[in-house]
Amino acid sequence: MKKKKQQRKRGIAEEIQVSILSKVVIVFVIVAAVVTFMVGNISLSAQKNDLEMQSKAAAYQLEIFFEEYTTVAEQMALNTDVQTLLEETGPGANITESERYATVFNTMKKTAAADSDNIQAVWVGDIDANVLTQSDGYTSGSDFEITERAWYKAVEEEKTILTDAYVDASTGNVILSAATPVYDQSGQNIIGVAGVDVALDHIDELLPAYKIGNNGFVILVTSEGNVIYHPNTDNQQKSLSELNVDKTLIQTVEGGKDTSVHYSADGKSKYGYVGRIGSTDYLTISCLPASEYFASLIRCIIIVLLLVIAGIVVIIITIRHLATQLTKPIVALNDVAQELAEGNLDVTLDIASENEIGELADSIQKTVDRLKEYINYIDEISSVLDRLADGKLKFTLKYDYAGEFAKVKTALLHISGSFEQMIEDIIDSSTQVSIGADELSKAAQNIAEGAMTQAASVQELVATTESVSQQVEENTEDAQKSATETSRVTHMMQDSREQMNQMMEAMNKITETSNEVVSIIKTIEDIADQTNLLALNASIEAARAGEAGKGFAVVASEIGSLADDSSKAANNTRDLIEISLQQIDRGSSLAQNVVQSMQDVLDAVEEVNGMIGKSAENNEAQNQSMEQIRVGIEDISKGVEDNSASAEETSATSQELAAQAATLEELVKRFDLKDHGREE
């Protein structure tokens, strides 16, 4: 009962909590989602702007740095002494022997000395003379090919360019060249190239100053994806593809546009911004790991979630407290209702409430007071019920029952009259049942004895059918064995017939082969005749030759003798083969007769096999019929036995019924049908 009350109390509180909390939680979640979305956008936009600003700032600073040296190269290209020097130096001429060389050399030397920390060398190249001269005194030799130099691209594109970074062979420093085409004084034709070799040591000092977050950085690449600067020096002078960077960044760099980019490097996700440095082919890339890119967003989400959870917890505690205060008087009323439901009217309500719950408590208290007035009625009804339980069916009611209890009084009086008539009827019926039970017992005993006799007869019939069934089964097994043996003989005869057919085919093959041999022997006879004729001709020719042909005549005579012997041997062989062919024909005829005889025997065996198989099937059908007869007789036997057992059980039951009827008669006599008045 306490558990039930606790469940109801918890159900009311939970209903109030769910009704309020569900709406509050939905509002909190919506507000948290909106706040998270807005703050997340602001955070990501800030990160994106920071990457863009850092990349553009580095690009702008590098643009200023590179413009200084591209300007130096362009000033050298516009120097009239340089133009005159390159115009005067023709193919095959030595540029250092020109009158203007000393002036140009001093100019290049002063320019390089003005910024010696960053300028590695200042130089000019003559296209038609295929020569290069530098501010450090170096002048190229005959093996120099100006068109193979990277900075020759300035001539092809007719504009100032910056080359890819490379390692200077003389100093080992990483440098790049700012080169610009030199036109003749008419400004129409390009006659050479002026350039400045710039050391990148200053860039290695400049770009590390651009730190993005804790782990972000800026790198410098060419539009072809070659890395000029990277915080990790091992990655410098490599292509982006060698740094295990995905195609997204490589394609963005090759596109040469200023844009944000999301890519992966070494399997790690990163965010960055690609910015072109002025009009050059160099670009800066700001890089920031994805974990740090989203770090502020994640912190914001965590803070919002914590605030939401804290707010929900506070609201839950507050609502639980209010729900407890609200449901406390309801629980008290529920306890009183439970006591009343269990029949306990001795209850008291102590609820001090001025709302509807207080009014409900007053109404329940009035109901309890009214119910207490019915206790006298209940006591008398309890006494009457006790008398009925003791078998005293006559009684008198003391109180005048008012209201709904008047129905109870009428019902009790009706019960008393009904019980009295019912007991009298039961006494009469039990007497009749006792008499009928005796007669039923005698009839059941007679049926049981007859059933036993039938059961014995059926058992003998079952034994007879089982014996016949066993004989039929044995006949069936013998027929099946005979059918199996005749089938095996049939297969043996079929195998023999197949072997005789194979022998006939072999004899036919021998006949064909012998005929071929006869043809061959005919050919040998023809050869022998031709050989004999040739030997005769040879003998004639030898006779004509006289003494010189005697030896040849002897050989011809021997050949003639051999030809005659071959002809005779061939004739003998042919005669033998003809005799063999006659014997083979006779053997084939006999074999054919044997095959026909075996076929007749095979047909007869198969017919016998069919008769035996049919006999086996008939025996099997007889066996199944006998089995059905045996099963039917067993069912009859079982039915007879069941009838016998039922008759015996019926006899026993009727005897038990008679005994129970007597017992019932004795029990009914215990009821008192006389009114002795109400026992106080």
Tally: H helices and E strands in the chain: 12, 11
Mean pLDDT of all residues belonging to the chain: 77
Domain end among 293, 321, 344: 293
pLDDT higher for 630 or 74? 74
Mean pLDDT along residues 658-673: 69
- Residue 671 has a pLDDT of 65
pLDDT digits (tens, 9 = 90+) for 70-109: 999 999 999 999 999 988 888 888 888 888 899 999 999 9
How far is it, in rounded angstroms, from Cα 597 to Cα 618?
Answer: 32
Domain end among 230, 263, 293: 293
Supply φ then ψ for residue 190, to 5 degrees. -85, 125
Q: What is the dihedral of CA 182, 186, 190, 192, to 10 degrees?
A: -40
What does DSSP assign to residue 239?
A: B
Are residues 422 and 566 both part of a single domain? yes
- Residue 132 has a pLDDT of 92
pLDDT higher for 372 or 534? 534
How far is it, in rounded angstroms, from Cα 52 to Cα 61?
Answer: 14
- Residue 680 has a pLDDT of 40
Considering its fold, how many domains does the chain have in total? 2
- pLDDT band for 152, please (50, 70, 90 cuts): very high
How far is it, in rounded angstroms, from Cα 549 to Cα 557?
Answer: 12
How far is it, in rounded angstroms, from Cα 636 to Cα 646?
Answer: 15
Which distant-in-sequence residues (6+ apart) come within 8 Å of 659 by Cβ?
none
Whether 643 shows a pLDDT value over 60: the answer reads yes
- Residue 289 has a pLDDT of 84
Residues 182 and 190 sit within 8 Å (Cβ to Cβ): yes
Q: What residues pair up with 264 in beta bridges, in sequence order?
A: 269
Are residues 289 and 420 both part of a single domain? no
- Residue 48 has a pLDDT of 78
Supply φ then ψ for residue 130, to 5 degrees. 55, 55
- Residue 191 has a pLDDT of 92
Are residues 282 and 423 both part of a single domain? no
- Residue 349 has a pLDDT of 67
- Residue 410 has a pLDDT of 77
Q: Which 3 state secondary structure label does DSSP give 452?
A: helix
Specify burial of residue 206 (Cβ count, 10 A radius: 0-12, 13-18, 19+): middle
Q: How many other C-beta atoms can be found within 10 angstroms of the C-beta atom of residue 344?
A: 10
Q: Tell if the pTM clears 0.75, that is, is over it.
A: no
Q: Is residue 403 part of a domain?
A: no
The alpha carbon dihedral of 579, 584, 587, 593 has a sign of: negative
Whether 113 shows a pLDDT value over 80: the answer reads yes
Which distant-in-sequence residues (6+ apart) come within 8 Å of 7 by Cβ?
none
Q: Is residue 213 part of a domain?
A: yes
Residues 240 and 225 sit within 8 Å (Cβ to Cβ): yes
pLDDT digits (tens, 9 = 90+) for 350-365: 666 666 666 677 777 7
pLDDT digits (tens, 9 = 90+) for 362-399: 777 777 766 666 666 677 777 777 776 766 666 677 76
Whether 200 shows a pLDDT value over 90: the answer reads no
pLDDT digits (tens, 9 = 90+) for 430-480: 677 767 667 766 766 777 676 677 667 767 777 777 777 777 777 777 777
Mean pLDDT along residues 421-428: 70
CATH number of the domain that 630 lies in?
Answer: 1.10.287.950
Specify burial of residue 395 (Cβ count, 10 A radius: 0-12, 13-18, 19+): buried
What does DSSP assign to residue 275?
A: E
- Residue 393 has a pLDDT of 65
Shortest CA distance to 395 belongs to which of 674, 671, 668?
674
How far is it, in rounded angstroms, from Cα 16 to Cα 142?
Answer: 100
Q: Is residue 559 part of a domain?
A: yes
Q: Is residue 84 part of a domain?
A: yes
Cα 615 from chain centre: 62
Residues 643 and 363 sit within 8 Å (Cβ to Cβ): no
- Residue 9 has a pLDDT of 46
How far is it, in rounded angstroms, from Cα 32 to Cα 169?
Answer: 63
Whether 679 shows a pLDDT value over 70: the answer reads no
Give whole-number Cα distances, 493 to 496, 503, 593, 603, 624, in Å. 5, 15, 15, 10, 34
Crossing angle between the packed helical segments 101-114 and 2-78, to the nearest 10 degrees: 150
Q: What residues pair up with 272 in beta bridges, in sequence order?
A: 261, 287
Q: What is the dihedral of CA 487, 492, 496, 501, to 10 degrees?
A: 50
Q: What is the 3-state secondary structure (H, E, C) of 199-245?
A: ECHHHHHHHHHCCECCCEEEEEEECCCEEEECCCHHHCCCEHHHHCE
- Residue 75 has a pLDDT of 92
Q: Is residue 432 part of a domain?
A: yes
- The β-bridge relationship of strands 131-134 and 174-183 is unpaired
CATH number of the domain that 235 lies in?
Answer: 3.30.450.20
Q: Is residue 302 part of a domain?
A: no
Supply φ then ψ for residue 393, to 5 degrees. -90, -10
Q: What residues pair up with 262 in beta bridges, in sequence order?
A: 271
Q: Is residue 30 part of a domain?
A: no
pLDDT digits (tens, 9 = 90+) for 335-345: 777 777 777 76
Shortest CA distance to 63 belongs to which of 285, 279, 254?
279
Range name among 42-56, 233-247, 267-281 with the lowest pLDDT average: 42-56
Residues 672 and 391 sit within 8 Å (Cβ to Cβ): yes
Domain end among 257, 274, 293: 293
How far is it, in rounded angstroms, from Cα 572 to Cα 448?
Answer: 109
- Give me the domain span that covers residue 579: 416-668
Q: Is residue 500 part of a domain?
A: yes
- Residue 611 has a pLDDT of 76
